[in-house]
Amino acid sequence: MNWRVPALGAIQRTSAQLTVVFAFLLLAADSRAAAIGCLVGGALMIANLFVLTVVGRAIIALAQGGGAGKAGVILAPLKMFIFVGLVYLLMTTTRLDPAGFLAGALTQFIAIFIETWRASTRGAFVRPEDQQV
């Protein structure tokens, strides 16, 4: 079986494109506040995926060095705690539109589905004689 997975860069690029498209749609259909909320939500999700890759690499490096123990176990939850706190601060101290923010945040999930589909269709076009067993 030939497994194809999307590249993280492709997911982030598609997420950024979708965020901009959604923001323009929200600007035309709803309000400027919803469009700004969409941009902030999308940017935060893109940053989250970037930091997640850095944290994942750090956990792997710690595990390979034998020092995974407490530091490796705490990195991922600490990252999530920081991002949840950041979202809380953004929502309580600014006038971000929650629906726009949610639309921007959901662009990353849509981008993951799009890029997974693209990666799987690229694998479908490989000739059987070119695949290695």
Give the dihedral of Cα atoms 80, 82, 88, 94; nearest 10 deg: -130
Residue 61 pLDDT class (50, 70, 90 cuts): confident
Cα 93 to Cα 39: distance, rounded to the nearest angstrom: 17
* pLDDT for position 76: 77
Residue 114 pLDDT class (50, 70, 90 cuts): very high
For tokens 């694998």, the residue is: 123
> If we measure between CA atoms, which residue out of 76, 84, 102, 80 comes closest to residue 23?
102
Residue 3 pLDDT class (50, 70, 90 cuts): low
> Can you give the pTM of this predicted structure?
0.79
* pLDDT for position 52: 86
Does pLDDT of 2 surpass 60? no
